[in-house]
């Protein structure tokens, strides 16, 4: 499944097109949530994900999201969402989340995600703080 965006950008959920080196570079070096994540961990997460979405400009990967569906728990989890800093502020984050959540095979599911900011972006797609959600945290690169 693909989506064309203005400015030569493209969304694509073809797992084979994901640039592991680039996604690992961003997540391990520049993300606040999984700094230091090993490359093999990132590879496994991409392989086992129920869906990965890449945001591309030409052949260059400039954004990413990873979806894990847990039907036995009745939820679908959105993770590792990013747009490279030099491509932010153009509406690409909104389109990446729309494609990942609203336009994929899990659109009708109950979704959960973690973020420390960008709440307004996610609110556009119905994400709100959960009144009944409890979390047991642990450090996990």
Ligand X SMILES: CC(C)(COP(=O)(O)OP(=O)(O)OC[C@H]1O[C@@H](n2cnc3c(N)ncnc32)[C@H](O)[C@@H]1OP(=O)(O)O)[C@@H](O)C(=O)NCCC(=O)NCCS
72 versus 123: smaller Cβ distance to ligand X: 123
Q: Does 28 bind ligand X (CB under 6 A)?
A: no
Question: How many beta carbons lie within 10 A of that of residue 49, not counting itself?
Answer: 20
What's the length of the chain? 141
- CB-neighbour burial class of residue 59 (10 A; exposed 0-12, middle 13-18, buried 19+): exposed
Between residue 107 and residue 136, which ones bind ligand X under the rule CB under 6 A? 113, 115, 117-118, 120-121
In which residue are the tokens 């999201």 written?
65
**DSSP state, residue 17:** G
62 binds ligand X, rule: CB under 6 A: no
Q: Which stretch binds ligand X (CB under 6 A): 4-12, 34-42, 82-90, 127-135?
A: 82-90
Binding site for ligand X (CB under 6 A): 81-83, 88-94, 113, 115, 117-118, 120-121
């Amino acid at each position: 499944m693909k989506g064309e965006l203005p400015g030569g950008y493209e969304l694509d959920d073809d797992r084979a097109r994901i640039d592991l080196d680039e996604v690992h570079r961003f997540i391990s070096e520049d993300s606040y949530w999984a700094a230091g994540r090993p490359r093999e961990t990132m590879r496994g997460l991409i392989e086992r994900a129920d869906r990965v979405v890449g945001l591309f400009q030409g052949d260059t990967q400039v954004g990413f999201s990873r979806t894990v569906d847990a039907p036995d728990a009745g939820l679908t989890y959105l993770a590792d969402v990013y747009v490279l800093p030099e491509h932010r502020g153009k509406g690409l984050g909104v389109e990446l989340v729309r494609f990942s959540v609203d336009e994929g095979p899990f659109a009708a599911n109950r979704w959960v995600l973690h973020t420390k900011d960008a709440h307004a972006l996610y609110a556009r797609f119905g994400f709100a703080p959960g009144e009944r959600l409890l979390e047991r945290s642990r450090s996990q690169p």
